[in-house]
Amino acid sequence: MNDDGPVAACPIGPVVDIVFSRWTTPILLTLHNDGRLRFVELHRRIGGVTAKVLTDRLRRLERDGLVTRTYFAEVPPRAEYEITELGRSLSPVFASLAAWQSEHLGEVEAARGRFEA
């Protein structure tokens, strides 16, 4: 029996936890495609996420170095978010996943249909 734990069993697990949590991928893709955005703009473009969850995810991404936050002390105060170079380095991963989806998602949906039948 291997007692090295889940990281030894799946060495990419920590990366998956960082990058592929529920709202992280849409945030990173939106910032990558649309550039620097204010919180309200980002919230509007992603849709479906609560402000609280978006704030939490943005803080985690900032902590992990994937997003930067610029605060402007004006009235009313505002903050802008931007993907970092580290965050941009994930672009090939997302492009590969998009290609896989285009090629195989139909097969996955067909398998689901057969399974549920």
| Residue extents of the structural domains in the chain | 6-116
pLDDT at residue 114 is higher than 60: yes
pLDDT for the residue numbered 45: 96
Helices 24-34 and 91-116 cross at an angle (nearest 10°) of 130
pLDDT at residue 1 is higher than 60: no
Are residues 7 and 14 in contact, defined by beta-carbon separation less than 8 angstroms?
yes
Strands 78-83, 37-38: pairing kind: antiparallel
- The mean pLDDT of 8-21, rounded to a whole number, is 84
pLDDT for the residue numbered 71: 93
The string of pLDDT tens digits covering residues 80-101 is 999 999 999 999 998 999 899 9
- The percent helix, strand, coil of the chain (3-state, each to 5) is 60, 10, 25
Alpha-carbon distance of 102 to 8, in angstroms, equals 31
Alpha-carbon distance of 111 to 9, in angstroms, equals 27
Q: Does domain 6-116 have CATH number 1.10.10.10?
A: yes
